[in-house]
């Protein structure tokens, strides 16, 4: 359920929805800041030594400016200081709440570091706190802490140190610390996105679902995290000055069967060409002709058609 003043919070990747809303409603906030992982990353990883970047074809096939031209809010990497008065995107593919998350992918920017970058940007640009208090902030983080950490036991030991409840609690504590820091920097209107049904991605279906369907243990663990996130939002709204936090539920609305009723026909594999064991598209290789019917673009990320549906639901309310 999306409630309150931020009931029209939306995913940044859905630029078409943002543009349409701006025309119809006018700009509703003076500035917009974005934090998160690959779902929101619009170029911050491009110059990192990292496997977690998609600045190549066929990514961005339907965007006029290519893979990193999908966002009206420019990435922190390379943005001019004055942009901090309008908004910046700090998101990073592979980024997580835990420092070690996705380390096997190489360079990435954790949420802690993203907030540090935000502090540098607003201090350098001398953005008034009164303005920051009116800005919109969106955060989509946590998926990698499961996909590229907890459920990758061959590389990470968190699943042996924590049961699912303990792990979700540990992530919640980290999230709270980071949000307190962001609040102290002036953030008041923050939309926090839940983790989606990542157990239903092609990657997790194969690795943890036996290739037969959604990985139930993965989705169950994520559900615990999401419930804790709801409580965290309520806590901030009750106990922190001026906080107008919103929980954006993209877990409950992500049932593959629901998408099937909306016309999607392929939900167990990505649209682009993949190498065996890899989750990102092979550069410059063919993609499916009917990509509007695919839930997923590669082995882990949803397609543009799916994103548009989710954006409409996030902006206007449940479909």
Residues involved in catalysis: 38, 298, 301
3-state secondary structure of 137: strand
Q: What are phi and psi of 89, to 5 degrees?
A: -110, 120
d(CA 198, CA 208): 11
Cis, peptide link before residue 121, omega less than 30° from 0: no
DSSP lists the bridge partners of residue 266 as: 294
Residue 138: closest CA among 261, 21, 20, 246: 246
Under the phi-then-psi rule, with left for phi > 0, alpha for psi from -120 to 50, and beta for the rest, what region is 4? left
DSSP lists the bridge partners of residue 137 as: 33, 190
Q: Count CB-CB contacts under 10 A for residue 244.
A: 17
Q: What are phi and psi of 78, to 5 degrees?
A: 90, -5
Under the phi-then-psi rule, with left for phi > 0, alpha for psi from -120 to 50, and beta for the rest, what region is 46? alpha
32-36 β-sheet, strand order: 87-89, 32-36, 136-140, 189-193, 244-248
Please tell me what DSSP assigns to residue 254. G
CA torsion angle 269 275 280 285 (round to 10): -90
């Amino acid at each position: 359920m999306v409630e309150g003043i931020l009931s029209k919070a939306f995913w940044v990747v859905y630029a078409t929805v943002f543009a349409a809303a701006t025309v119809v409603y006018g700009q509703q906030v003076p500035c917009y800041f974005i934090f998160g992982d690959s779902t929101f990353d619009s170029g911050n990883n491009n110059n990192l030594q990292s496997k977690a970047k998609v600045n190549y074809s066929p990514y961005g096939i339907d965007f006029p400016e290519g893979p990193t031209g999908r966002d009206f809010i420019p990435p922190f990497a390379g943005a001019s200081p004055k942009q901090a008065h309008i908004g910046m995107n700090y998101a990073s593919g592979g980024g997580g709440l835990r420092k070690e998350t996705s380390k096997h992918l190489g360079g990435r920017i954790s949420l802690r570091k993203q907030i540090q970058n935000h502090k540098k940007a607003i201090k350098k640009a001398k953005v008034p706190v009164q303005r920051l208090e009116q800005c919109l902030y969106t955060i989509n983080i946590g998926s990698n802490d499961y996909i590229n950490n907890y459920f990758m036991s061959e590389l990470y030991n968190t699943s042996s140190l924590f049961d699912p409840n303990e792990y979700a609690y540990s992530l919640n504590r980290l999230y709270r610390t980071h949000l307190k820091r962001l609040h102290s920097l002036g953030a008041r209107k923050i939309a926090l996105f839940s983790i989606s049904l990542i157990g239903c991605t092609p990657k997790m279906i194969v690795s943890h679902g036996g290739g037969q369907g959604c990985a139930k243990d993965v989705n169950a663990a994520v559900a615990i995290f999401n419930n804790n996130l709801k409580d965290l939002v309520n806590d901030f709204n009750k106990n922190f000055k001026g906080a107008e936090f919103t929980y954006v539920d993209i877990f409950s609305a992500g049932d593959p069967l629901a998408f099937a009723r909306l016309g999607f026909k392929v939900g167990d594999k990505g649209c682009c060409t993949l190498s065996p064991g890899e989750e990102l598209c092979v550069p410059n290789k063919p993609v499916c002709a009917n990509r509007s019917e695919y839930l997923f673009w590669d082995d882990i990320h949803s397609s543009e058609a799916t994103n548009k549906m989710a954006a409409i639901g996030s902006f206007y309310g449940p479909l």
